[in-house]
A = this chain, B = another copy of it.
Amino acid sequence: MILSTKGRYGLKAVFELSLNYGLGPVSLKKISEKYEISENYLEQLFAKLRKAGYIETIRGSQGGYMLAKEPKDLTVGMILRTLEGEMTTSECVNKEVCSRESVCATRSIFEKIEKSITDVIDKITLADMYEEHKEILLEANKQNE
């Protein structure tokens, strides 16, 4: 597994926030029930995202979480990196640790893998996810007719 539950749960939960963007806060309870995720666990994930400045909160009754930026300004990469740490393959990539650069044929492999992941996660925003989601829902409706 490339991603742990941190990234997987976190991305789902943040997408849920994006569905409610502009409509007020969503409580942890609702999200954790909808996706069957431990409320306390999800809270820890949201704490990281809040500290990173991607979501903000309203405390007290009727409070909850909401995106701190527009869905089009939040990428999947921002969320995953905050929760999972840097999506790197090897310590030698991006650093000059590699003492035998010329010998190291594997380094370029690691770079390619990293780049291919980066290309995907840094390009897709929450707004993009919403657009694609809409299409999927429309198609699902067509099937049911």
Indicate whether A23 reaches chain B with its CB closer than 8 angstroms.
Answer: no
Contact B117 A113 (CB under 8 A): yes
A119 / chain B contacts, CB cutoff of 8 Å: 116
Contact A140 B109 (CB under 8 A): no
Q: Which of A37-45, A48-56, A61-69, A130-138 contacts B (4 or more CB under 8 A)?
A: A130-138
Contact A124 B109 (CB under 8 A): yes
Closest to A114 in B: B2
Contact A102 B1 (CB under 8 A): no
Indicate whether A108 reaches chain B with its CB closer than 8 angstroms.
Answer: yes
Contact B110 A3 (CB under 8 A): yes
Complex CA gap A2/B117 in Å reads 10
Q: Name A residues whose Cβ lies closer than 8 Å to a Cβ of B.
A: 1-3, 8, 11-12, 15, 76, 85-90, 102, 104-106, 108-110, 112-114, 116-117, 119-121, 124, 129-130, 132-133, 136-137, 140
The 8 A-B residue pairs with the shortest CB-CB distance in the complex, in nearest-first order: A105-B133, A116-B116, A102-B140, A3-B89, A105-B129, A11-B106, A116-B120, A12-B106
A-B CB contact pairs (8 Å), 16 listed: A1-B86, A1-B89, A2-B113, A11-B109, A12-B104, A12-B106, A15-B105, A105-B132, A106-B129, A108-B136, A109-B120, A109-B124, A109-B129, A112-B120, A116-B117, A116-B120
